[in-house]
Amino acid sequence: MTDLLTCTQIELLADLLDAVPASLASLEHLGAAGVYALRNRVSDALFDSMASTFSRVSKLAPLVPNALVIATAQKSVPAEVAGRAGGALGLAHEDRAVGVLSGMKPAYLADAASYVDPRIIPHFAPKLPARLLIPTAKELLRRKDYLTASRFVEFATDELIVEFEKAIDDDEGIARTGALVFRTDVLNQILRVARPKRLVRMAASAAAGSADFVVAVLSVLSRIEPDVASPGVDELLGNPNAESVSRVLDIAVRHDAVGEVLDLSTLLAADRLHHLAAASDVSVARQIEGSADTAGRRKAWKRLQRAMPAAASAKTDN
């Protein structure tokens, strides 16, 4: 069983290579960190191979005013070309980068964003104002382009995270983007800024939403600090609404996310664990037991298993 984070890293690598994720399934043994490192090496090699071309184009930049760059790029330069060259040109002419980007439409920036050299993003993240980035971020989420959005979230500053959380109301977009973010420190910061009320709302929306939304929230909750995750776990897995929890469990089984359910069950207090146990039928229980592949998960399974007879008894009494 491949963990969700490894799956997302393979998905990101496939996107970089313009390949089908299933064709890279043999890389699962590398684990999330291994695939992440491989993706970075491939990306670096790709952009380094174009360095000489970027250098020649850069020499022309001082001759062209910002207004002409903006107008010409949006009318005549393919987004892929703009994205691949834009990072290098921005580094070479930093004093003009914000001015040029500020004049471009969010749709064009969103088109170009997936082609930007990832090494450029942490350099510019602290320098680009939220007012410039938020419209493009909203456009990426509107398109459900969570892969591209995640690349930029990976290097968001604390200030940008605060502004994004205020401006973006798309809970599914935040969850599905967050599930693709490799750095847990950034993920924790995003959810801390979002506050418990927002996380509970996100979990409730996921429980009634798409399977992808449920899997994303399970992935995110399993990777953040327990004190941050707990309100969302209570809502998603410890809810007294047995039908809602059963649906989440069914999705987890179908999408290989049962291990994450077992990990998160350790955050449930006894009364909340009772609700999870009550929603776990025999078939689901077998799947959960089969996912107990570490000492921690085996301990979690035994705790959940002990709650199952009591849950069954409560059903009979009712």
- The per-residue b/e assignment along 284-317, b for 16 or more CB within 10 angstroms, e otherwise, is bbebbbebbeeeebeebbebbeebbeebeeeeee
Percent of the chain's residues with pLDDT above 70: 85
Annotate 88-116 with b (16+ C-beta within 10 A) or e (fewer): bbbbbeeebbeebbeebebebbbbbbbbb
Average pLDDT over residues 16-32: 90
pTM: 0.80
Residues 6+ apart with CB under 8 A from 174: 165, 168, 190, 194, 202
Q: What is the pLDDT of residues 58-95, one digit of tens each?
A: 555 565 566 766 676 677 677 777 777 766 666 656 66
Instruction: Report pLDDT digits (tens) over 174-191.
Output: 999 999 999 899 899 989
Q: Is the pLDDT of residue 121 over 50?
A: yes
Residue 114, pLDDT score: 85
Do residues 78 and 49 lie in contact, with contact meaning Cβ atoms separated by under 8 Å?
no
**pLDDT of 127 strictly over 70:** yes
Return the domain boundaries, the chain: 1-46, 50-168, 206-318
Residue 1 has pLDDT above 50, yes or no: no
What is the per-residue DSSP string for 239-274? -S-HHHHHHHHHHHHHTT-HHHHHHHHTTS-HHHHH
| CA gap 216, 142 in Å, rounded | 17
pLDDT value at residue 92: 58
pLDDT(229) > 90: yes
Q: Using alpha carbons only, give the angle 175, 180, 183 rounded to the nearest 5 degrees.
A: 105
104 pLDDT band, cuts 50/70/90, is: confident
